[in-house]
């Protein structure tokens, strides 16, 4: 759950006119407190008591009756319904399918790695485009059942894992929060209270790592259980997707060994929905994010500044869509910033016109801020231009690639690679490591291992090492590397 200060910011920044929460007492208490501090913002509390008992259509907290939702907290205790006398009118006065055109539909907030989170304004056309493209790319059908355990305040949870199945008439098993044991129970068809067996599962890499750890504790010591897990997952599950953060290759291979499934990795952002995806049929290459999905165009661009500093322009290294990618002569394998265009791209940042203008090129392409490479037929994300590209001794190094190498070490559970400022090298490569349970990491041994077993260049091997108990991540498994550097390392102060 977001801290109260952040919730307050979201409510005020979005100019919300109504807050809605579940009937969990802690949620009601928190939101009621926020509501009273925000000019008595109306608060609607949704309760499921209608499913097992008779009650009035609405009540306020403490059973105090209220007719005016704008002046009190109200709890809905009746199932949604349409008055039968209005059914005909709804049909008679229904609007055409394209009534919404560019009408606003939803605001999702970015992670806010620089400054306060920005509200990403999506239109109905944006969402429709995002959903339709994924239905095609991932072969959604009414026969699907998705096991949903993701936050609904992110594109991954609200669009990919909820709106897509609802659009085609598929079913959703909604878990209130992630629980490794409960997820395995559902995946294996054990102790399912709703009787539904999932066919689709989507998660962030951190969740897959936690599921692997749970598997090691519960199943790894029993050959029959291991076989049951693999047989069940490989025959009953149609699709398993990973996204929102880079998928370590070690997790990809471990999950395939456990379940028989190759995780489908894709690339997207709050501002654009999904842009790249490995294929539903065909090779799913570890460490790569596939090709553009239908309706999306992408470019890999190298930005340059004119000699007098008055103009910023870019050269196109590669450009593609769902059918093909063209690489400019002599540019094969080069990396640059990923640009995206299409109906899925957001309208603007809410009440932030300057920020919106800054994120688009003059010719209308959205600048993702991610460095990409097209090589051997697939796109690969090398990291954020600001945080994941380390410039050391004249070399441009991908922090994500170094992390992938380190995660192959048998005693490393989690890691983050960052660049630290240095007057000689520009930046030093620094690794923050979390050891596996009952494991100890020796720095000298790690350096030796990197030289002997890893495929990274000598200048990419970290020169600064820190071992910690855990690395903080947000709900989608992402690391704020700027905050991590400030928390872990003591940086020199400017004179």
pLDDT for 405-415, tens place per residue? Answer: 899 999 999 99
Comparing C-alpha atoms, which of 255, 133, 131 is closest to residue 203?
255
Question: In Å, how far are 3, 289, 328, 359 from 301, measured between CA atoms?
Answer: 38, 18, 11, 14
Residue 425, helix vs strand vs coil: coil
| pTM, two decimal places | 0.79
Task: Write down the architecture of domain 389-488 according to CATH.
Answer: 2-Layer Sandwich (3.30)
Q: Which residues contact 71 (CB under 8 A, 6 or more apart)?
A: 40, 42
pLDDT reported for residue 470 = 92
Domain boundaries, the chain: 4-79, 139-262, 389-488
Helix, strand, coil percentages for the chain (3-state, nearest 5) = 30, 30, 40
Residue 145, helix vs strand vs coil: strand
pLDDT reported for residue 60 = 34
pLDDT reported for residue 49 = 55
Each as own residue / partner, the long-range contacts of residues 299-305 (CB below 8 Å, 24 or more positions apart, any chain) are 299/338, 299/339, 299/340, 299/341, 299/365, 300/334, 300/335, 300/336, 300/337, 300/338, 300/339, 300/372, 300/373, 300/374, 301/336, 301/337, 301/338, 301/339, 301/365, 302/334, 302/336, 302/337, 303/336, 303/337
pLDDT reported for residue 38 = 85
Do 43 and 31 contact (CB within 8 A), yes or no?
Answer: yes
Question: Rounded to whole angstroms, how far apart are CA atoms 350 and 144?
Answer: 35
CA 324 to chain centre: 26
Low-confidence stretches of the chain (pLDDT beneath 70): 1, 48-102, 111-115, 191-194, 309-311, 491-495
Question: Rounded to whole angstroms, how far apart are CA atoms 245 and 251?
Answer: 13
- Ranges assigned E (strand) in 250-399: 264-269, 273-277, 291-292, 296-305, 312-320, 325-327, 335-342, 348-349, 366-375, 378-384, 389-392, 395-398
Domains 139-262 and 389-488 agree in fold: no
Question: Rounded to whole angstroms, how far apart are CA atoms 264 and 252?
Answer: 9
pLDDT reported for residue 101 = 65
pLDDT reported for residue 386 = 77
Question: Rounded to whole angstroms, how far apart are CA atoms 172 and 262?
Answer: 22
139-262 placed in CATH 3.40.50.980: yes
Relative to beta strand 58-59, strand 348-349 is unpaired
């Amino acid at each position: 759950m977001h801290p109260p200060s952040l919730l307050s910011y979201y409510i005020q920044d979005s100019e919300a006119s109504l807050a809605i929460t579940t009937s969990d007492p802690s949620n009601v208490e928190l939101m009621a407190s926020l509501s009273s501090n925000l000019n008595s913002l109306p608060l609607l509390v949704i309760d499921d008591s209608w499913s097992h008992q008779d009650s009035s259509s609405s009540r306020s907290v403490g059973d105090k009756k209220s007719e005016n939702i704008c002046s009190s907290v109200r709890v809905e205790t009746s199932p949604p319904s349409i008055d039968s006398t209005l059914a005909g009118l709804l049909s008679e006065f229904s609007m055409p399918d394209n009534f919404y055109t560019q009408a606003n539909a939803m605001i999702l907030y970015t992670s806010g790695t620089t400054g306060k989170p920005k509200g990403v304004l999506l239109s109905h056309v944006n969402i429709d485009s995002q959903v339709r493209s994924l239905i095609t790319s991932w072969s959604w059908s009414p026969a699907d059942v998705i096991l949903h355990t993701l936050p609904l305040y992110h594109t991954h949870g609200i669009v990919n894992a909820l709106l897509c199945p609802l659009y085609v008439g598929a079913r959703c098993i909604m878990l209130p929060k992630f629980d490794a044991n409960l997820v395995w129970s559902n995946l294996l068809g054990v102790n399912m209270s709703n009787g539904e067996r999932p066919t689709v599962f989507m998660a962030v890499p951190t969740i897959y790592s936690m599921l692997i750890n749970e598997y090691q504790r519960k199943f790894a010591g029993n050959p029959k259980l291991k076989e049951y897990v693999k047989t069940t997952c490989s025959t009953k599950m149609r699709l398993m997707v990973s996204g929102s953060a880079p998928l370590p290759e070690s997790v990809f291979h471990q999950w395939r060994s456990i379940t028989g499934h190759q995780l489908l990795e894709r690339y997207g952002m709050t501002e654009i929905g999904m842009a790249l995806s490995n294929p539903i049929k065909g090779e799913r290459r570890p460490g790569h994010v596939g090709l553009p999905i239908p309706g999306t165009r992408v470019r890999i661009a190298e930005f340059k500044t004119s000699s007098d500093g008055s103009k910023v322009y870019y050269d196109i290294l590669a450009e593609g869509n769902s059918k093909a990618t063209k690489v400019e002569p002599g540019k094969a394998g080069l990396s640059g910033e990923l640009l995206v265009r299409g109906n899925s791209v957001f309208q603007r940042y809410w009440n932030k016109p300057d920020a919106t203008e800054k994120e688009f090129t003059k010719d209308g392409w959205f600048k993702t801020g991610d460095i990409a490479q097209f090589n051997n037929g697939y796109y690969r994300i090398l990291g954020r231009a600001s945080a994941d590209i380390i410039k050391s001794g004249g070399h441009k190094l991908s922090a994500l690639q170094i992390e992938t190498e380190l995660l192959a070490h048998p005693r490393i559970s989690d890691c983050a690679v960052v660049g630290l400022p240095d007057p000689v090298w520009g930046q030093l490569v620094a690794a923050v490591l979390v050891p596996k349970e009952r494991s100890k990491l020796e720095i000298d041994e790690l350096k030796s291992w990197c030289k002997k077993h890893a495929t990274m260049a000598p200048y990419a091997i970290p020169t600064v090492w820190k071992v910690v108990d855990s690395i903080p991540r947000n709900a989608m498994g992402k690391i704020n590397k700027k905050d991590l550097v400030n928390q872990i390392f003591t940086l020199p102060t400017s004179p």
